[in-house]
Amino acid sequence: MQRKKSKQNRSSCTETLPKNLIACLPVQVRKQTEWLVDVGRWRPSPAEFQAAAALLPPHDRPAIHRFVREEDRKRALVSRLLQYSLVYHALGMPFHQIRINRTLEGKPYLNKNVNLPGFNFNTSHQGEYVGIASEPLCLVGLDIVCISKPQRETALEFINNFTSYLTDHEWNCIVTADSHDGMLTEFYRYWCLKEAFVKATGAGVGFGLQRLEFHHMNWTNISLCIDGEEARKWMFWLFKIDEMHLASIAKGHPEDAIDSFRRTLSDVVIQEGELHTAIEIPEEAFTLLTVEHLIQGDA
């Protein structure tokens, strides 16, 4: 009975408020969400780890235990806890009722829901941090990088391994930095942005990163060219989490999603003006959570 009633409400919203579709969304998902967990601070006992993993539906647990290293298992578990906590926060659904699927390229998604016409999310983890970002209308991609110094080669030798993924412009900006540490930081900034875009579109590792060229003004007003053409329907932000970690968020038009991911989004037509506004909403600082928040449902 409740589902039929909500279906009538959805129809009313899409027919009478076509220029303000976001007003039809649940309050919890009208805004973007960015959560971050410092997994280095979570030191569970084996029993505590198993108890946290038991909160997930059975089909999602094997993906955690396939990792050999404890730190990798922790990141995998927290990544999934963030996803389920986000959906719980947005829809009020208990964990056992949530079904998160993945495209062949590994992009997580919910089953189509006209209540959430463009709702999508993306996770990332590296180093000490695991994060998640979501958007109600536009595509979103998140990438976290750890600026680790190479152990057996110089910074330039390390970066040289990735020249095929960088444009001449990006390479020149990197190698003209004032120090080896500066070169590493510049490289990771470009890499982080490229990964965020690819993850937003759902393209995965098969996308040619050398097709992407980023421009910026002191790492603000970041813009993207794809195959030499400016991508005007995309916005990017860079965040310094701490001295060793960076995060980037990409937001763009759903039309740029690859086919396998686009098919998972609702067929509801979103007004261009509203979508443009959603893309340009400034990103705020991440909300730092603990694993205990996720376990207790306080996120």
Q: Containing domain of residue 132, as a range? A: 29-296
* Per-residue model confidence (pLDDT) at position 296: 80
Report the pLDDT value the prediction gives residue 137, as an integer from 0 to 100: 86
Q: Residues 5-50: pLDDT tens digits?
A: 333 333 333 333 334 444 444 444 445 689 999 999 999 999 999 9
Assigned domain for 161 exists: yes
- Indicate the average pLDDT of the chain: 85
Residue 18 belongs to some domain of the structure: no
The SS3 call for residue 121 is strand
Question: In this structure, is residue 9 part of a structural domain?
Answer: no
CATH code, domain carrying 92: 3.90.470.20
Q: What is the pTM of this model?
A: 0.86
Q: What is the mean pLDDT of residues 209-229?
A: 96
108 belongs to a structural domain: yes
Residue at 276 is within a domain: yes
Residue 227 amino acid letter = D
Residues 87-116: tens digit of each pLDDT: 988 878 888 888 898 998 989 998 766 567
> Would 20 be classed as within a structural domain?
no
Residue 13 lies in a domain: no
Write down the pLDDT at residue 92: 81
* 140 Ramachandran zone, left/alpha/beta (phi>0; psi -120 to 50): beta
Determine, yes or no, domain membership for 89.
yes
What residues have CB less than 8 Å from 167, skipping those under 6 apart? 210, 212, 213
For residues 132-159, b (16+ Cβ closer than 10 Å) or e, as one string?
bbbbbbbbbbbbbbebeeeeeeebeebb
Query: Average of pLDDT values for 264-282?
Result: 75
Q: Among 73-82, 118-127, 141-150, 269-278, which is the least confidently predicted range?
A: 269-278
pLDDT of the residue at 112: 63
Of 208 and 113, the one with more pLDDT: 208
The tally of domains found in the chain comes to 1
Q: Residues near 18 by Cβ (< 8 Å), separated by ≥ 6?
A: 271
